[in-house]
Amino acid sequence: MSFVIHKFKELESTNSHAMEMARLQQMFHGDVVMAQCQKAGRGRMARSWDSPEGNLYFSIILQPKVGIEKLPEISFLAAVSLRLTLEKLLPESHKKIQNKWPNDLLIDGKKIAGILLESDALSGFTKGFVVLGIGVNLISNPQQTIFPATNLQEFSLKILPEDFLKIFLDEFEILYQKWLDFGFDLIRKIWLQKAWNLGVEVTIKIDGKTQKGIFKDVDLQGNLILEMDGKVQKILVGDVC
């Protein structure tokens, strides 16, 4: 796959712009939309994503020839690629870089990056493309968050958004091909190698309700498998803390 990077000074949201361009058939598989800042950056669960200048904000348009049910796997693929990128950049912090379900990246237990995968196909209208949006805290992070956040400068790493993006795209390209060739189980296994709180009791918040359970596994559909009161429960969406 070859990537074409489209750089913008400011956008409402790189995900929205990429989605619009893909719908209009002005951008295609491998096009990457990057912005120096976003005025209306979006996160999971309809949250906003603080997007001041200096951090990395980008979205990749992908049109994989796979069934719709496999599209959510791409966010795990991206999470593993982000982890490998961070491990390359911070070799001495290796042990502290973890994947948090469903697709957050943590360093030292604090969130450094987030992933938002959106698709018309996921809401029933099949055009066959997805938009993979990623935000990485390079020089700053929001203060008032439900889960603690951090940024790469706190780990003495100074890197330009473009440089981080290039390393990420190299990692992503390799894993994307592995995913097409060998399927999700391989990606799931690499994800689980550095999973935050695996085997430990976690709290899960779903629709304002809080439940506790032991984090046992992530299944072949990317669901979180928790053990609650001796019973195995499958969690499809929620916040883990």
* Binding test (CB under 6 A) with ligand BTN, winner from 82, 116, 204, 240: 116
Shortest Å, Cβ 62 to ligand BTN: 14
- Please list, residue by residue across 212-230, b when 16 or more beta carbons sit within 10 angstroms of its beta carbon and e when fewer do: ebebebbeeebbbbbeeee
Residues 117-136 that bind ligand BTN (CB under 6 A): 133-135
Closer Cβ to ligand BTN, 57 or 215, answer by number: 57
Shortest Å, Cβ 103 to ligand BTN: 7
**Residue 164, interface with ligand BTN (CB under 6 A)?**
no
**Residue 57, interface with ligand BTN (CB under 6 A)?**
yes
- What CA–CA distance (Å, rounded) separates 100 from 106? 7
Shortest Å, Cβ 14 to ligand BTN: 4
How buried is 198 (Cβ within 10 angstroms: 0-12 exposed, 13-18 middle, 19+ buried)?
A: middle
Q: How far is CA 77 from CA 82, 200, 203, 224, in A?
A: 9, 23, 24, 16
Length of the chain in residues, anyone? 241
**Residue 191, interface with ligand BTN (CB under 6 A)?**
no
DSSP letters, 42-100, are B-GGG-B----BTBEEEEEEE--SS-GGGTTHHHHHHHHHHHHHHHHH-GGGGGGEEEE
Closer Cβ to ligand BTN, 186 or 195, answer by number: 195
Residues 18-47 that bind ligand BTN (CB under 6 A): 38, 41-44, 47
Shortest Å, Cβ 181 to ligand BTN: 28
> Which residue ranges make up the site for ligand BTN (CB under 6 A)?
13-15, 38, 41-44, 47, 49, 57-59, 104, 114-116, 133-135
